[in-house]
Structures are given as structure tokens and as C-alpha cells.
Amino acid sequence: MKKLIQKAENLLEALPFIKNFYGKTFVIKYGGNAMVSEDLKDKFALDIVMMKYIGVNPVIVHGGGPQIDKTLKALGIKSQFFEGQRVTNKETIDVVEMVLGGKVNKEIVSLVNRHGGNAVGITGKDGDLIMAKRHAKGKKQSPETDRPEIIDLGLVGEITLVNPRILETLEKSDFIPVIAPIGKGENGETLNINADFVASKIASALKAEKLILMTDTEGVKNKTGKLQSGLTRKEVAAMIKTKVIKDGMLPKVNCCLDALKSGVHKTHIIDGRIQHALLLEIFTEEGIGTQIVEKKSEFTTPPVTS
């Protein structure tokens, strides 16, 4: 009987969150190990379906880097990167569109629907959802000449406009959008765009309640390596300035800050390697990752920051 009562208590703990989030939109960037492990993929789909049934409107933006790498390797095409961005020529973009917009996207849609959801897969090109321009050329120091070398990333995009009409239509019809991070260029060309950036811009356009980035790390850590359960924009800025936040975490944190600036209420960086990571972060007092907000008064519980 005690176990049954504990189950009831666990459900009641989630009640205030369910009430607060009913009818709200959450944009979730799905990537990392959560997209590779069969068990974690199942748990993710179940979390999404549960969120939908209790009144939350989830919007999924997915990555697919490892799947693209695998296909390129099979085709004998070498992968090149610059500052975390895939250098994308015409040959590569065809593979990116095939893998992200086809194989990966439809696998996620199928999985969500198999667990009782009603998902629809689209890319940023559908309904002119994501308009973009080519990414500015970068520079790196050439070891041969000891001079800066211009790096052209090719068909890599920077988002110029998000038109959320197709997402609003899907939401009104009770569908769960699953979005591949591909945009439409100024001349109609296909552009490859970082999934974190896409999720942030879509959350901003929808004025979402939450932006949630699933990663392969626990969240943001302080200089001693301790996980920070909650941070304000000001605290994050200080950690960036002192280089406590750097490398791969830096662009993710900047995506969160951009979303907050554009009207998203709260942002989260969570560990997708944990089963039911979404539910644990959203519907429990403790959470499991790092919540980033504008000011301390917006924390639901006092954060761990020491």
C-alpha cells in the first residue's frame, strides 16, 4: 500500500506544473545520445506523448550529425568542420537533406506516433518556415603561410526569418511538429542550419513558454565542475566573461540567452542520456539540468549555484 500511496504522491507533485503549463508551447531540441540509444528514443517519445495528453504543445527540432556522418562515410565523402559547423558543399547538402529531412525525421515521427502521438514531420523549407542566408565566411590561421585563411562553409545557413504559420496551423489541429533543421536560402537553395539555433529561433517566433536543449552533458557547471541547477542571464554573462562557460556549451547558452531576449519565458539545458529527462526536468521540483532565466524571482525552487 505504501508503494501505491507514493505513486499517488508523485502524481500530485506534478499537478502544479501541469496546471501552469496547460496550453503552453515547449520547443525541444532533440539530439545527442537520446537519438542513438533505442531505450532512450522510446523514453523520449513517451515523454512527448504524455506532455501532449496533459495539455502541453511540444514542438520538436532534431539534429542528426552522427547519422549524416555515417551516410557520408558510406558514400566516400569526407566530413569537414569549422568552429563546430559542417562545411557543406552541393554534394554534402544533398546527403544532409536526405538524412535529416527523410530518414531521421520520419523515424522520429513514426516513433512518436507508435506511442500514441499524432506527429507530422516537416523541414524548415515547408511553408517557408525558415528563411536563411549563407553563413558569413570565417577565418583561421594557416600553419603553412602563418596568415589568416578564409573558410567558406558553403551551404550553411544563418536564419533571417521564421514564419510560424505552419506550426500554428499544426498546433490548432492537435499535431506534434517534428522539424528538420534545413532552411530555404535567398535564391531557393537548401541550407544546412545548426539545430540549436533553429530551436532557439522557433521558440522565439512562437513566444514559447520553454526552450529545452537536450545534450550529452549534465548541464552548465561552475568553475569547480558542480552542476548549476539555475542561472540568471547576468550570472551566465559573468561565466562567459571568465571563460567558465566555453567550447561546446557556449553556443547552447547563447541560444538560451537569445530566446529569453525574444520573449521565451524559461530555457533549459538537460542531459538527454537520462531516461525520461524531459518529464524529470519539467514536472519535478528538483529538475535534473540547468534552468536559465532572466531573474531569480522566476525560479520555481531555489537553484543550486555554489
Write the pLDDT tens digit of every residue in 48-90.
999 999 999 999 999 998 899 999 999 998 888 877 778 888 9
Contact 285, 13 (CB under 8 A): yes
| Predicted structure pTM score | 0.90
Q: Nearest 5°: CA angle at 170, between 182 and 271?
A: 60
Cβ atoms within 10 Å of 133's Cβ, excluding its own: 15
Q: Could you give all domains of the chain from N- to C-terminal order, each with its CATH number?
A: 22-208 (3.40.1160.10), 218-272+289-306 (no CATH)
Contact 185, 132 (CB under 8 A): yes
Amino acid at 26: F
Cell of 144: 603553412
CA 34 to chain centre: 12
Q: What's the CA gap between 201 and 186, in Å, rounded? A: 18
Task: Give the mean pLDDT of 43-47.
Answer: 95
Cell of 207: 513566444
178-226 confidence digits (pLDDT tens): 999 999 999 999 999 999 999 999 999 999 999 999 999 899 999 999 9
Q: What's the pLDDT score for residue 144?
A: 47
Give the pLDDT band (50/70/90) at residue 287.
confident
End-to-end CA separation in angstroms for the chain? 39
Give the pLDDT band (50/70/90) at residue 150.
low
Contact 100, 106 (CB under 8 A): no
Contact 46, 115 (CB under 8 A): yes
Give the pLDDT band (50/70/90) at residue 301.
low
Give the pLDDT band (50/70/90) at residue 254.
very high
| pLDDT > 80? residue 6 | no
Contact 29, 63 (CB under 8 A): yes
SS3 of residue 248 by DSSP: coil
Q: Is the dihedral of CA 9, 10, 11, 12 positive or negative?
A: positive
Average pLDDT, the chain: 89
CA 54 to chain centre: 22
Q: What's the pLDDT score for residue 63?
A: 92
Task: Give the mean pLDDT of 289-302.
Answer: 76
Contact 134, 185 (CB under 8 A): yes
Give the pLDDT band (50/70/90) at residue 299.
low
The single residue listed with the C-alpha cell 524559461 is 266
* Weakest mean pLDDT among 13-17, 103-107, 209-213, 254-258: 13-17
